[in-house]
Chain A
């Protein structure tokens, strides 16, 4: 049996900021649920199953917080599962929702979640806890140092400079000015980035994402549902994902099967998604890429892994404006993860922004003539990768 065609017919998100101090988590996650249902022209009764997108709950400080959210997202009486692959959670949750519909088991599926990363001041301590107690925990690995290490290797391999990473931040913050939901936004300069406080070489403060609070939701349906409810759905035409070892040091040396600096596993996920979607020339066929880039250095290897250019070429193309708003490939018109990172739903926000572009409802962020958009998510010890292709036309 071939899979059912899956379509996005409704999306919703809250504003993202450091604290939503006017409501608790369960109330926050309901806001995105209601927004997505309204956008899909559906009532809670129309939803057949719920996929809950939530990464480590230590940030929020209430364990396995989907329990507390069931009532507020209209999950009672329905199958509900939580998906957690660290930073890739939102991408994986989307894929779980996709397979719910593609399998034919459910017609209408809600993918929803929320995060409040700044509820604890100890977020990098929490992220240090994802490494094992035997070999790696003691050496201050966290998401900042983990990606700083691979960035130093990237710079060594390809000659990429700190200024080239800074240009990514400048573009992201400027793009985010058009995004009413973005956490960080503004006109800044390369010097502003270079002069911000040193964190972990090559990162300065502005190279790093904020700790965001907010919620996101998406309604998925099949072809028949899309025809009934939505004039311009975004069809999910390809999904690809892969997992890799927790030991990043395995990705170095002559016997490595993937290169640490390249985020090379995304190439595997991308090829799978492109194959399903019939994408053969990404630069010509895809107009928007919403990338999981919590740190400035993470854009170039993803652009390269997704086949938009060769290895080591993205930085120079970035300098030349090739990824600016309205260029041949617009990268993260929303400002991306660099400007907004509610970890448990960040991958879902990337998917929402990519789908909105295809549905021609991205507001001030809208890129003209979008037929295909791609969204990524990355999680764990640089080890979970998802890629999703959204199209204006179904397969």
Chain B
């Protein structure tokens, strides 16, 4: 029973340590394999005509399986962007820019970092990331089959 001598500020500290091995599956597996060859592969539904990045096994709009693979262009258009100035635990050190970019030939936008941007003046940098702005895909020197193998640059 709590009494006046129980300090309200008393806490018991703890942390969770849980490890996972996420099964990748065939669709994501093909996407990651293609990244090693510097290709960004999207899935497409012939029923709806919609092409998806990230790739989907099925089309939410037509409720049919995506039955084609199409290669995305290495340029695209910004649909939404932000620059993060605050530090969050376990997230990258700020500042960094992220953007949803719709790559050429693909109907949906995929998020990634925008690298190589001068962010010393965040307002000015955001002026360069307006929706509609064209950007390019840049791959890292040695792609390993991870989504972080590429990013966007102006």
Q: Which residues does A use to contact B, with CB under 8 Å?
A: 21-22, 58, 61, 121-122, 124-125, 128, 133-136, 138-142, 144-145, 148-150, 152-153, 156-157, 197-202, 245, 247-250, 252-257, 260-261
Question: With A124-B89, A125-B90, A135-B54 given, can you name 4 additional A-B contacts, CB distance below 8 Å?
Answer: A125-B88, A153-B80, A198-B122, A247-B108
With the chains together, A201 CA to B98 CA distance in Å?
A: 11
Contact across chains for A122 and B111 when beta carbons are under 8 A apart: no
Contact across chains for B89 and A122 when beta carbons are under 8 A apart: yes
Q: Known contacts A149-B82, A152-B126, A200-B86; decide if A252 and B108 are in contact (CB<8 Å).
A: yes
Q: Which residue in B28, B60, B91 is a CB contact (below 8 Å) of A124? A: B91
The B contact surface, by secondary structure, is loop
Contact across chains for B79 and A145 when beta carbons are under 8 A apart: no
Interface string of B1-29 (1 = CB under 8 A from A): 01000001111001010001010100010
Contact across chains for B8 and A199 when beta carbons are under 8 A apart: no
Q: Which residues does B use to contact A, with CB under 8 Å?
A: 2, 8-11, 14, 16, 20, 22, 24, 28, 49-50, 52-54, 60-61, 79-86, 88-92, 96, 98-100, 102, 107-113, 122-123, 126, 129-132, 146-148
Query: How many A-B pairs with Cβ below 8 Å?
Result: 144
**Can you name the residue of chain A whose Cβ is closest to the Cβ of B146?**
A138
**Can you name the residue of chain B whose Cβ is closest to the Cβ of A208?**
B86
11 contacting pairs across A/B (C-beta < 8 A): A21-B11, A58-B16, A122-B90, A134-B147, A135-B110, A135-B147, A139-B98, A144-B84, A153-B79, A201-B83, A250-B109
Q: Which residues of A contact B146 (CB under 8 A)?
A: 138
Q: Known contacts A252-B102, A253-B79; decide if A142 and B88 are in contact (CB<8 Å).
A: yes
The 10 lowest CB-CB distance pairs between A and B, nearest first, are A249-B109, A252-B79, A135-B54, A198-B85, A148-B82, A125-B90, A149-B80, A124-B88, A153-B80, A199-B86
